[in-house]
Amino acid sequence: MANQHTIQATSRKDEGKGASRRLRHAGQVPAVVYGGKSEPRSIQLEHEKTWLLSQNEWFYSSIIDLEVDGKVESVLLRDLQRHPYKQRILHIDFQRVDAKQTLRTSVPLHFVNGEKSPAGKTAGVVIMHELTQVEVSCLPKDLPGNIEVDLADLKPGDTIHLSSVKLPAGVELPQLKLGADHDVAVVVARMARGETEETTEDTEAQSPAEGGAAEEAKGE
């Protein structure tokens, strides 16, 4: 599991759109914590600090130690609402995590060694990342911050499917249990369109000449 991260918050009693609006004007982010055996709880976080934290990948996929009024709970970020065009977070949802219960959440994929692979060294080949994250199922202690996909052996024309991704211990991909049709492509190494079109044009350009040669042969 990735390193634990702590975020501090305070509880709030005022709820509703008006209260949330006042919080945002005061530089706070309204949020809620739900799940587990406890009742949902309304909280608030400092916007500036939370905005900076939200620039980190771990913020969206790691177990977070949420400290509210001195009490710490393990949570996962479940929803984050942003302003349409301003650098402002409008609301956050956190879900409590039980250390003994399996959870499902999305984890980012990290692609490595693509430039060193045969495909990466071949002119005209484009390495396409068909997925950038996957949903995993595991206990909280086994939750990875990301899953690494090694492309060192990727060759032109190769496709890496979901079932070929090496998973950390204790981690499963629920999608693969749905059948072979759900074993989708994660990475594809294909020729760039320009290269393909150029090859096609060359073939078409040669065809008339070849056809003419065949006619001449018949005439002889």
Residues 140, 168: Cα–Cα separation, whole Å: 13
What is the DSSP track for the chain?
-PPPEEEEEEE----SHHHHHHHHHTTEEEEEEE-TTSPPEEEEEEHHHHHHHTTSTHHHHS-EEEEETTEEEEEEEEEEEE-SSSS-EEEEEEEE--TTS-EEEEEEEEEESTTTSTTTTSTTEEEEES-SEEEEEE-GGG--S-EEEE-TT--TT-EEEGGGS---TT-B-GGGGG-GGG--EEEEEEE-HHHHHHHHHHHHHHHHHHHHHHHHHHH-
Q: Is 13 within 8 Å of 42 (Cβ atoms)? A: yes
Residues 36, 96: Cα–Cα separation, whole Å: 6
What pLDDT, in 10s, does the model give residues 5-19?
999 999 988 777 788
What number is the average pLDDT over the span 42-71? 94
Tokens coding 184 = 């989708």
Residues 28, 44: Cα–Cα separation, whole Å: 6
What pLDDT, in 10s, does the model give residues 178-212?
999 999 999 999 988 655 455 445 545 554 545 44
Please name each of the domains of the chain with its CATH number: 5-96 (2.40.240.10), 103-195 (2.170.120.20)
pLDDT the model gives residue 38:
87
What pLDDT, in 10s, does the model give residues 132-165?
999 999 999 999 999 999 999 999 999 999 999 9
Q: Is 93 within 8 Å of 31 (Cβ atoms)? A: yes
Residues 145, 57: Cα–Cα separation, whole Å: 8
Residues 6+ apart with CB under 8 A from 72: 6, 65, 66
pLDDT the model gives residue 199:
47
What number is the average pLDDT over the span 53-79? 94
